[in-house]
A and B are shown apart, each in its own frame.
Chain A
Amino acid sequence: MEIKVLGPGCKKCQETERVVKEALAETGVQADLVHVTDTMEIAAHGVFGTPAVVVDGKVKSVGKIPSKADVISWIK
């Protein structure tokens, strides 16, 4: 599984990454987590804003910090 957090590096993007890490730790799911900060790569995902979360190529959340429960529902 590959998870991408899209965001240029603001606090909300970092918080999103933290939530995803917590969800992975809690579930024991193995995944490659990448924080994408490159604006062109972010734009290639077609998102209107950041932070955004992409799981195995599918965008799951845009413009907000997802809840841990949401992240768990995406990865289980």
Chain B
Amino acid sequence: MAESCCTTGGQVMILACSGGSNVGQLSNQAAIELTQEGFGKMFCLCGIGGELSGFVQSAKDTPAMVAIDGCAVGCAKAILEKAGVPQRAYLVLTDLGIEKNKDFALQRDQVDQVKAAVKQACATLPRDAAGASGCRG
């Protein structure tokens, strides 16, 4: 038996709306890069929307979680509310002054702006709690 399979420190669950606009795809790209950099771990908002129990229960049981909506339509927020997942860290990218459009050629400075905003939004999350009682896959 392994002594422990748990990672050290907390893993932030990152849920991006990944929608069909520049801001939706900025949320997606930021989630990818923050995962690659070890800040957190992108998780499937789609699985929560589909009410698949593994995804829904994972979101409910993860204390350190951030939801990123591209615009004020708030699809990610609505999915979490429908699934009964408590809102934790949350941000809307158009609130950062990024204009919503259909230009999918993402700008580096905007991706970096979103990543910084996500990190700031997560500043008050219980990072130590995430993964403290279990193993994060």
User: Which residues in A have some Cβ–Cβ distance to B below 8 Å?
Assistant: 7-14, 39, 42-43, 45-52, 54, 57-65
Contact A63 B136 (CB under 8 A): yes
Shortest A26–chain B CB gap in Å is: 23
Cβ of A51: which chain B residues have Cβ within 8 Å of it? 134-135
Count of A-B contacts judged by CB separation below 8 Å: 101
Chain B contact-residue range equals 20 to 34
CB contact between A10 and one of B6, B13, B44, B137 (< 8 Å): that residue: B6
User: Which residues in B have some Cβ–Cβ distance to A below 8 Å?
Assistant: 1-6, 11, 13, 41, 43-44, 47, 52-62, 131, 133-137
CB contact between A12 and one of B13, B53, B62, B135 (< 8 Å): that residue: B135
Shortest B55–chain A CB gap in Å is: 5
